[in-house]
């Protein structure tokens, strides 16, 4: 009988933010992602800041946990856009991730290279980005991927069937109550319409306690201590539970929750407490898929994500600007790809990153402060204008290329 355990999955990502790209730049300057004077949109400055606050200290902590505790394991998804920036500006960060992977207890989860929503627009482009990501992971870390997560945990039955047909043994999703119904996320499931692939569903309450509520002084559980959290996880599993899936952004540690909040000490203390119980362990995503049989089948016709209170795609495709931006972008796909211009194609693919649409979100109320926190722009309308100017220039370059050839 398998031990009950935790699947700790952390998502590592940085986008190529579009600079203040005006209509006067189109047709003249083709650098959409340059490191200009505005620090909130300077990709290099942002990466180096987060590397100091999050990537380096968290990787060091993970290495210490792996060295000290043979039961400790973690799964990571690392986007291609992050890896591009790390290779350019902080190769030591890649070295530290590589050292983690070399322990054999850190698994890389597959995803789209560009952190895109291509699954919903172009299946061929989606599959290209998945393969490009697997190739990049193979080149940098020397490992193969066997579990898939789509951008922003966007998930439905169709995606699960695709992942099974593509050869993945597992897939990740949000453990959203309307999808689960009366069931608990603390089991392994089988997606409807599939025969072999297994589904790991995020325990969003316990995950978000750390990712979003940890430093909130108005939260009734503030300040959260490791022993309290250990009690919560044990209680969530109960006598019959199998796995608690703690899924969150890697930048939770040090960037979203600053070191001054005690997040690093909390994490280290919790890991020690959890594995001090011989009945407990950690699993990578693929190990959890191997260790447990599906408790039931989960049917998910509508798309669910891990974002906002609605847990749907409206953070990216909830207003006319977002739909218009994505339509114009993907309308260029065939012409851009036919150009065989590597620079043009790379720029177009960087624009498929979902963050660009997220910055155009106009939802306020409960989620507005979250969108404002993550956006480097003064308003969603600025994000739309700069993005569309870049798309216009991609169209101009594409037309120019085909005329010259």
Contact by Cβ (8 Å): 75, 10: yes
Contacts of 87 (CB under 8 A, 6+ apart): 94
Contact by Cβ (8 Å): 197, 190: yes
Contact by Cβ (8 Å): 284, 75: yes
123 burial via Cβ count (<10 Å: 0-12, 13-18, 19+): exposed
Contact by Cβ (8 Å): 75, 11: no
Strand positions, DSSP E, 176-268: 188-191, 198-202, 243-249
Pairing of strands 243-249, 4-12: parallel
DSSP, residue by residue, 340-387: T-HHHHHHHHHHTBTHHHHTT----TTTHHHHHHH--SSSHHHHHHHH
Query: Which string of b and e fits 216-241 if b means at least 16 CB within 10 Å?
Result: eeeeeeeebebeebbebbbeebeeeb
Let me know if 152 is a catalytic residue.
yes
Q: Residue 297's beta-bridge partner residues?
A: 190
373 burial via Cβ count (<10 Å: 0-12, 13-18, 19+): exposed
Tell me which of 152, 174, 251, 255 is the catalytic residue.
Answer: 152
Point out the residues that are catalytic: 152
């Amino acid at each position: 009988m398998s031990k009950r355990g935790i699947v700790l999955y952390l998502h590592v990502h940085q986008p190529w933010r579009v600079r203040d790209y005006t209509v006067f730049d189109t047709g003249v300057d083709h650098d959409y992602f340059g490191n200009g004077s505005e620090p909130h949109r300077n990709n290099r400055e942002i990466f180096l800041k987060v590397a100091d606050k999050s990537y380096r200290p968290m990787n060091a902590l993970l290495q210490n946990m792996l060295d000290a505790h043979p039961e400790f394991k973690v799964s990571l998804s690392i986007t291609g856009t992050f890896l591009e920036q790390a290779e350019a500006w902080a190769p030591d960060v890649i070295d530290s991730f590589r050292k983690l992977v070399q322990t054999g207890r850190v698994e890389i989860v597959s995803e789209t290279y560009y952190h895109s929503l291509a699954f919903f627009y172009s299946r061929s482009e989606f599959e290209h980005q998945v393969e490009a990501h697997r190739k990049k992971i193979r080149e940098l870390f020397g490992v193969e991927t066997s579990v898939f997560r789509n951008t922003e945990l966007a998930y439905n039955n169709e995606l699960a069937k695709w992942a099974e047909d593509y050869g993945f043994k597992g897939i990740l999703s949000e453990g959203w109550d309307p999808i689960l119904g009366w069931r608990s996320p603390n089991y392994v499931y089988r997606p409807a319409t599939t025969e072999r692939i297994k589904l790991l569903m995020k325990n969003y309450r316990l995950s978000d306690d750390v990712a979003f509520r940890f430093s909130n002084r108005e939260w009734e559980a503030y300040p959260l201590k490791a022993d309290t959290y250990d009690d919560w996880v044990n209680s969530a599993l109960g006598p019959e539970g199998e796995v608690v899936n703690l899924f969150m952004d890697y930048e939770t540690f040090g960037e979203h929750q600053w070191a001054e909040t005690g997040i690093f000490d909390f994490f280290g203390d919790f890991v020690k407490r959890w594995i001090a119980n011989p009945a407990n362990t950690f699993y990578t995503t693929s190990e959890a898929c191997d260790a447990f049989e599906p408790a039931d089948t989960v049917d998910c016709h509508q798309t669910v994500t891990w974002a906002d209170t609605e847990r749907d795609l409206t953070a990216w495709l909830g207003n006319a600007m977002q739909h218009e931006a994505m339509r114009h972008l993907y309308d260029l796909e065939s012409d851009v790809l036919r150009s065989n211009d590597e620079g043009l194609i790379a720029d177009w693919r960087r624009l498929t990153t979902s963050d660009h649409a997220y910055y155009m979100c106009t939802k306020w109320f409960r989620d507005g402060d979250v969108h404002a926190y993550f956006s480097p722009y003064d308003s969603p309308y600025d994000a739309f204008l700069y993005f569309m100017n870049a798309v216009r220039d991609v169209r101009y370059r594409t037309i120019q290329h085909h005329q010259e050839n």
